[in-house]
Amino acid sequence: MRRVFLSICALLVCLPLAAQSGNTPRHAPPLEIAMPDGTKVNLSRCAGKVCVVEFLFTTCSHCQETSQVMSRLYAEYGARGFQPLGAAFNENAMLLVPEFVRNNNVNYPVGVLQREKVLDYLGYSMMARLMVPQVVFIDRKGTIRYQSSIDGGENLHSEARMRQIIEELLKEPAGAKKAVSMNKK
């Protein structure tokens, strides 16, 4: 009986960890980000582009720095097919996003998602405690190629690493999907 109890306890500990893998590569699931003006930006509008989605807290200094880096990279690589998106999921994010965008000179769409949708998109358990920002790199064919680790151990949000990944992915062909403009829905 004790052995059964210990096995069940081990399973309960391991299941959430297994659900926090965020394996790559994998197909990017649909994602719709609510913008402060009431519109929505759908990830499908990035088809044929290299896209980086930053899941962030508007109050996080690391997220602010990452957004500033992504804005610089967007100014440099946007014409070549690079599109960043931001999705805030902290408390009161809808109220805080406009100020976040203004104060950090963000030049790409930043909206809001519910925490549950962020965790689901990243492939993490609802029980997960994750570090922010979480960054996902999606290639021109719609495949998530790189994703931050749950604990932030892999530094995908440094400018040098982001630049390296963006340049790598921009060199790849777009495939069958045609590039679409980032107009809001």
Q: In the chain, what are the domains?
A: 2-170 (3.40.30.10)
What pLDDT, on the 0 to 100 scale, is given for residue 183?
43
- With a pLDDT cut of 70, the percent of the chain lying above it is 81
Confidence of residue 177 (pLDDT cuts 50, 70, 90): very low
Q: Is the pLDDT of residue 4 over 90?
A: no
pLDDT tens track for 111-158:
999 999 999 999 999 898 889 999 999 999 999 999 998 776 667 889
> Distance between the two ends of the chain, CA-based, in angstroms?
58
Say how far apart CA 71 and CA 100 lie, in whole Å: 13
Q: Is the pLDDT of residue 89 over 80?
A: yes
Q: Which helix (H) or strand (E) holds 101?
A: helix 93-103
Q: By C-alpha distance, which of 149, 132, 169 is closest to 51?
A: 169
Say how far apart CA 64 and CA 156 lie, in whole Å: 14
DSSP letter at 143? E
